[in-house]
Structure 1
Amino acid sequence: MTRREDDMPWTTIITPRRGWLDIGLGALWEYRDLVLLLVRRDFVSRYKQTILGPVWFVLQPLLMTVVFTVVFGKMAGLSTDGVPGPLFYFAGVVCWRYFAACLTKTSDTFVANAAIFGKVYFPRLAVPVSVVLSNLFTFALQFAFFLVLHAFYASGEVSARPGAAVAVVPFLVAIMAALGLGGGILVSSLTTRYRDLRFLIGFGVQLLMYLTPIIYPLSSVPEDYRLLVLANPMTEVVEAFRYVFLGQGAFTWARLAYSAGASALVLVCGLALFSRVEKTFMDTV
């Protein structure tokens, strides 16, 4: 005998989530295999048909460092607090590129994935989370090259040796990931209604970079503008990263706590709005 199909118990019931804070993190964990597949797709497809392949992961920030060293270090004569220019700029570039990549690539989540979102169910948050994780591999490669560069200069020009303070680095990475993910999905949610915001994200990221001490140390910022720079949560992340490895940087635990709190707030707001928008997104495509 065969059991009637209408008597079969349901194993999964998909219902719309209610409430701003009903984010569905449990469903995201259930689809962790899909997240890992998306991470692999992003990582492989990015440089699959390129000549240099993963070398681009290191070459791009290295070229930015060379440009910054020549233009801002040699020509403009900006201070690096006594740290060798290439090491000073590369430290800032490594942090900034991870945050910027998370922000820009997650900001296009709904628009870029409209086709697949309309065909099959899975937690929509899996896409931006996979972007953050795939960029983490890129950050790891660039961070490894930074350590090699640090070891090269440590023989003479750099006296700082990373000690127990290096344990704060995962915390800094978490702040960058939370801020990039939260800001990206906020923009992605807003672009479902205001499509022209996607054209402003590139300009906004560039503008924010100049409000972050990437090409200059915080100590060189005039007092009249320092509060504006400190309002940027990425400022203390970059300063703390340089302090840990280079022994230079206007780092305080209070300002780092502010960066962590601001990043957490942006992430919570982004998750709430993302969860709200995904319920009706396909109706506005």
Structure 2
Amino acid sequence: MWDWEVKTKQPWFRFGIRELFHYKDLILRFSKRDLLASYQQTLIGPLWVIVQPLLTTLTYVLIFSRVARISTDNVPPLLFYLPGVILWNYFSECLNGTMGTFQYNAHIFSKVFFPRLTVPVSQVLTSSFRMMIQLSVFVAIYGIYMLNYDLGVNRAVVLLPVSLLLCAGFAFGAGLIISIATAKYRDLDTVLQFVLRLFMFAAPVVYPSTIIPEEWKWLFWLNPLTPAIETIRYAFFGSPAFSLLPLLVSVFSVGILLVIGLVIFKRNEVRVMDTI
């Protein structure tokens, strides 16, 4: 038996988090669907999870290390670029999946009711699964390099989950806000894809933070992806010098972004369906 409560107004801070626990099976089904759909009718199937970041990293090694000769702080180029590539891929996949919530699922939303938040959550879960596999590959390659290089994991490795949550939270919060806008203005997606490609160079994916001029470092560290990537590099390579303050600032700013994103999403999720 169902109990329905009809209200004239919705509370401002209604996040809908509790509803997600009742629909956890649906979230897992969506995630499984996305994983299977990603590798259907492909030559090497799920191996793309491993091949894609490795090919990207090798390209960066050739262009930025061999040709442009950008410093990698005395870290082997392959090891230096790979964590940045993995975290950037994780961020961009979570962002793209979240901001396309209404565009690519309108046919489902118009037929049956369920919490709309389950879709972006499942997208983040799918991307997290891929990211964990890629991190495992990085750890394996790191272990091989340890045989010939003086490498060692330090205590900062306990902050690895914080770095990953920063990437996911930043992408999720921003994606929820953008999903409302792209549902109404379809051409925004094209513009945002271009901006996203440029944004990669605002994060230390292909260069270390040590090459940033002092007068611009305060702005550079405001990007939540910067402490996320640099924390992982410090944990595995011991460089660059680690500071906890930028990480704490990023955690605080991403937390605010998440709250804003959830509020905007929940207040507009029904209204948006009238414009699709």
Same-fold call, TM > 0.5?
Answer: yes
Q: Is the 8 A contact 1:192 1:281 kept in 2?
A: yes
Q: CA contact under 8 A between 2:154 and 2:238: conserved in structure 1?
A: no
Scaled by the length of structure 2, the TM-score of the pair is 0.95
Is it true that 1:189 corresponds to 2:180 in the alignment?
yes
Looking at structure 1, the residues matched to 49 and 81 of structure 2 have their Cα atoms a distance apart, in angstroms, of 16
Shift of 1:265: 1.3
Task: Report what 2:95 is aligned to.
Answer: 103
- Specify the code of the residue in structure 2 equivalent to 1:49: Q
Which deviates more from structure 2 when the two are superposed, residues 66-75 or residues 168-177? 168-177
Question: Which structure 2 segments of 5+ residues have no match?
Answer: none
Structure 2 distance, partners of 1:255, 1:283, is 41
In structure 1, C-alpha distance between the alignment counterparts of 2:220 and 2:100, rounded to whole Å: 27
Cross-structure match for 2:71: 79
Which has the larger Rg?
1
TM-superposed CA distance for 1:15, in Å, is: 4.8
Question: How big is the shift at 1:150?
Answer: 0.5
Aligned residue in 1 for 2:111: 119
Task: Determine if contact 2:87/2:229 at 8 Å carries over to the other structure.
Answer: yes
1:57 paired with 2:49, answer yes
Please give the alpha-carbon distance, in whole angstroms, between the structure 2 residues aligned to 1:167 and 1:192. Answer: 39
Residues 1:146 and 2:138 are matched in the alignment? yes
What is the rounded CA distance, in whole Å, between the counterparts of 1:66 and 1:220 in structure 2? 22
Quick check: 25-34 or 15-24, which moved more?
15-24
> Aligned partner of 1:110: which letter?
F
Return the offset for 1:14: 6.6
Identity of aligned residues (%): 37
What number of residue pairs does the alignment pair up? 275
Query: After TM superposition, where is structure 1 displaced by more than 4 Å over at least 4 residues in a row?
Result: 14-17
Alpha-carbon offset, residue 29 of structure 1: 1.0
**Which residue of 1 is the match for residue 212 of structure 2?**
221
CA contact (8 A) 1:107 1:186 kept: yes
Q: Please give the root-mean-square deviation of Cα atoms over the aligned residues, in Å.
A: 1.5
Distance in 2 of aligned mates of 1:103 and 1:144: 22
1:171 aligns with 2:162: yes
AA in 1 matched with 2:31? V
Q: Distance in 2 between matches of 1:250 and 1:270?
A: 33
Q: 2:23 aligns to what?
A: 31
Q: Could you list the per-position Cα deviations for residues 108-132 of structure 1 after superposition, in whole angstroms to 9, with x for gaps in the alignment?
A: 1111111111110000000000000
Tell me the residue number matched to 1:283: 274
Contact 1:28 1:125 in 2 (8 A): yes
Q: 2 CA distance for matches of 1:100 and 1:229?
A: 19
